[in-house]
Structure 1
Amino acid sequence: MAITSANQLELLQTAEAVAREKMIDPDLVVQAMEESLARAAKSRYGAEMDIRVSIDRKTGRATFTRVRTVVEDDMVENHLAELTVAQARDYLENPEVGAEIIDEVPPVEMGRIAAQSAKQVILQKVREAERDRQYEEFKDRAGTIINGVVKREEYGNVIVDVGRGEGILRRNEKIGRESYRPNDRIRCYIKDVRREVRGPQIFLSRTDPQFMAELFKMEVPEIYDGIIDIKAVARDPGSRAKIAVISYDGSIDPVGACVGMRGSRVQAVVNELQGEKIDIIPWNDDAPTFLVNALQPAEVSKVVLDEEAERIEVVVPDEQLSLAIGRRGQNVRLASQLTGLDIDILTEAEESERRQKEFAARTSLFMEALDLDEFFAQLLVSEGFTNLEEVAYVEVDELLVIDGVDEDTAGELQARARDYLEAANKKALEEARELGVEDSLVAFDGLTPQMVLALAKDGVKTLEDFATCADWELAGGWTTENGERKKDDGVLEPFDVSLEEAQNLVMTARIMLGWVDPTELEAEAEEEAAEESSEDATEETEA
């Protein structure tokens, strides 16, 4: 096959036809043709030559040229594609290194093998262009809902025609036991779009919590307009879901707007989600209040929040326990996902029993340490005293409010408490020193003798040992493994040392040992403060 005047215009016509069919830029097809013709010419004139082909975008005429580059005299590696400055003077008056000498060569006769090779190059280039077009089209649509048509099902995964591409709905992204037949219409959430070797992969989902949020955005105009905001979503796909909403207009009830007239809006979402029951909950910035709402329909008697551990303790009436937990723990699990907190549920009877045990333990402590009778020890506990340090170092006035306690009695109580604590501290120091604790750790400000003993039992016996500790090793913390939060016990956790306090103690030890320069810390703190103020200013400007 020769590129003659008879088929020059056919090149452009073919390029336009392919571009229309694949919905890509015709110029990309022409470029692929140029590359394929250049390869065919190299097979005719020699692979070492730099042969280039240019197709006129108006006439379709293909021009074949040989390009040679001017290089330094001692840098010539390919004599067919490179030449020296001296050799270039035959073609140019003042040749410079890097200049190109271009000569037109006759068009090639393309045999069957060359034509087949050219066809493969064109198909490959067109396929790559088509993939790039698909990726560019769908990459910005991640996080939205798309309507498609089921093409086929493979091993439980559904292949969906989404217009100019195909998406995959994996079996674990389907609701319950959903099954589809070819040509069924389906609505999905575009969870992710990835560029892979085999082309762009569009991953669809019907179980993602944001699928439900986007459905509500389609059904509730107030959400689409930004008057109502969806703050959190938790789903047990196909069974039950909870969605937290807030209204920025005091005259609009967010829950009522999402439910709609006679439940029309929420029912449309329920129907799409195969009958999934949906609890619509008003959002509240106060975590305990929000949790009470999230545990609906169960009633809550009491809530205790531990912000540091991100845990919350909920007390419910005995008859409400099964309702609060839900079938197979569903209600409390969804409430936990919605609030981002670990939830412990106790009945009023269990909570009462625990409080009685704590009361008895504190009473016993005061009876033994302060040599008091049971009635007087119970009075101290009832007034809120939980440990000997509070009794020993509290203001005398706080002891005088107890019935039957005068100044002399209060003084005697504090003296006994201090004597007991001093004896306990002395004993703790003796045990710590027997374990090999050095004076540098004993004298470190911020550690009590009991803390020093606890550290010694854990193998921390010098100030250097203490300075190498991580804050969570001292104060404890939480880690997540396989989606489950696990508690890490801290050496100083029984002494109510917070994570921030542990950080300060460790950093102080490092400064004392000369491991850290305090001026560098101050500079870093100033930089962080400057960055935070800059971010705040940016947010205010955007608002």
Structure 2
Amino acid sequence: MAVTGVSANRLELLQIANAVAQEKNIDKEIVIEAIEEAIQKGAKSRYGAHHDIRAALDPKTGELALTRHVTIVEDDWQPEDELEEFNDSAMVRLKDALKRDPEAVVGKEYVEELPPFEFGRVQTQMARQVVTGKVREAERANQYEEFKDRVGEIVNGTVKRVEYGNTVVDLGRGEGIMRRNDSIPRELFNIGDRIRTYIYDVRAEAKGPQVMLSRAHPGFMAKLFAQEVPEVYDGVIEIRAAARDAGSRAKMAVLSNDSSIDPVGACVGMRGSRVQAVVAELQGEKIDIIQWNPDEPTFIVNALAPAEVSKVVLDEEADRVEVVVPDEQLSLAIGRRGQNVRLASQLTGWQIDIITETQDSERRQREFAERTTLFQEALDVDEVIAQLLVT
């Protein structure tokens, strides 16, 4: 990208502006503004930085006007901050202006046209930096606008590079980053691989917009089901909650808005075809699809499937729930390394404590004995009456 000189062929600057705008997919006006700013800087380095020099490039003809401006100010003009001072190259006090111009008023500008000049090596370098900087800013703004409304979408891209476990993905009109903890464990990508990811956040940062990608996010699984199951895409079936242990196991709660459609069956598909398509994309992740229920205890029982539950006791103030399971179902309810109960807890939003029927029975007997003793001591009654009071 070269800004060769102000005396260059006037169509040359327009051609540069058009080429850069098309290549970077940004507005031509932004490129023209950048070229004008670059020329202004070059002219100031030639004539002196204290001059108020402005450049205007006609977007139709390519005609360039380079002008120097002097503004009339009050006689008692004072700087607004301590860094500013009276600049006699860009300002003239009213009393001095009236000596030469009887129509002088505060705010009037005297404009002097400057002749075209050739850019030297330093000015060319400076101009190139200004234009490159402006274009980069515009590209960043474009990328943020492009992706800020696409949070929650699945996008296809190509792996651009892999660094320290983080994967940078080329998304066509920008790039995104998938951090190590947002990828599925043991999943390796090479440069040039095609990849499907989920946009879970877009941040406008100083170094440019950060498009945050994930394959481990529960939303990625939910969106894959929306692509595979027409009823989910159409909104007939709602995915109310999802929890994942990426690459290992997941739970998803579904609800049907049409009583004639079984939400679990629709998501599983004929002989498991629909769920298998999602499992294949998630590297063999085992998915439990359960029916969502507005009744919290019923939903918690469903969430702990495949384990059977005997009893559920809710503590709504502490957002905790105690679940009693048959002794032989304990390991199934907890799952390998606590996975089943952890995913059920994430899915329902309740903290789940699991105990066996034996433990529950022993605890009830112990509490009964403690309360009986308490009544005996407090009321000075015999054991039979105390037990009746406890009951």
2:82 is matched with which residue? Answer: none
* CA distance 1:90–1:232, shift in 2 (3 Å): farther
Superposed CA deviations along residues 429-479 of structure 1, whole A, max 9, x for unmatched, are: xxxxxxxxxxxxxxxxxxxxxxxxxxxxxxxxxxxxxxxxxxxxxxxxxxx
1:57 is matched with which residue? Answer: 59
Q: How does 1:287-302 map to 2 (within 5 A)?
A: 287-302=296-311
The structure with the largest alpha-carbon Rg is: 1
Q: What is the TM-score of this pair, normalised by structure 1? A: 0.68
Range with bigger deviation, 338-347 or 368-377? 368-377
Counterpart-to-counterpart distance in 2, 1:92 and 1:201: 56
Corresponding residue SS for 1:68: strand
What amino acid sits opposite 1:66 in the alignment?
R
Q: Which runs of 5+ in 1 are unaligned?
A: 383-543
The CA deviation at 1:179 is: 0.4
Superposed CA deviations along residues 210-256 of structure 1, whole A, max 9, x for unmatched, are: 11111112212222222221111111111111011111111111111
2:33 is matched with which residue? Answer: 31
Find 1:276's aligned residue among 262, 281, 285.
Answer: 285
Find 1:208's aligned residue among 212, 217, 222.
Answer: 217
The CA deviation at 1:100 is: 2.4
* CA distance 1:95–1:221, shift in 2 (3 Å): farther
The CA deviation at 1:93 is: 5.5
Find 1:15's aligned residue among 14, 17, 25.
Answer: 17
The CA deviation at 1:199 is: 1.7
Aligned residues of 1:231 and 1:244 also touching (Cα < 8 A): yes
Counterpart-to-counterpart distance in 1, 2:259 and 2:56: 67
What percentage of aligned pairs have identical amino acids? 66
Does residue 79 of structure 1 match 2:88? yes
The CA deviation at 1:198 is: 2.0
The CA deviation at 1:372 is: 1.9
Range with bigger deviation, 296-305 or 103-112? 103-112
Counterpart-to-counterpart distance in 1, 2:377 and 2:44: 100
Counterpart-to-counterpart distance in 1, 2:131 and 2:157: 30
What amino acid sits opposite 2:208 in the alignment?
G
1:355 is matched with which residue? Answer: 364
Superposed CA deviations along residues 97-127 of structure 1, whole A, max 9, x for unmatched, are: 2232222121222111111211111111111
* Greater share of strand: 2
The count of corresponding residues between Structure 1 and Structure 2 is 381
What amino acid sits opposite 1:3 in the alignment?
V
Aligned residues of 1:8 and 1:61 also touching (Cα < 8 A): yes
Aligned residues of 1:44 and 1:108 also touching (Cα < 8 A): no
The CA deviation at 1:89 is: 4.0
Find 1:157's aligned residue among 166, 178, 183.
Answer: 166
Corresponding residue SS for 1:255: helix
1:3 is matched with which residue? Answer: 6
Find 2:265's aligned residue among 242, 256, 259.
Answer: 256
The CA deviation at 1:94 is: 3.8
Give the structure, 1 or 2, with the largest relative contact order (CA under 8 Å, sep 6 or more).
2
Find 2:46's aligned residue among 44, 47, 53.
Answer: 44
Aligned residues of 1:240 and 1:278 also touching (Cα < 8 A): yes
Aligned residues of 2:6 and 2:39 also touching (Cα < 8 A): no
Does residue 170 of structure 1 match 2:154? no
Counterpart-to-counterpart distance in 2, 1:142 and 1:87: 61
2:83 is matched with which residue? Answer: none
Give the RMSD, CA atoms, in angstroms: 1.5
Aligned residues of 1:24 and 1:133 also touching (Cα < 8 A): yes
* CA distance 1:303–1:107, shift in 2 (3 Å): same
* Greater share of helix: 1
Superposed CA deviations along residues 501-542 of structure 1, whole A, max 9, x for unmatched, are: xxxxxxxxxxxxxxxxxxxxxxxxxxxxxxxxxxxxxxxxxx
Counterpart-to-counterpart distance in 2, 1:92 and 1:122: 39
The CA deviation at 1:376 is: 2.0
Q: What is the TM-score of this pair, normalised by structure 2? A: 0.94
The CA deviation at 1:159 is: 1.4
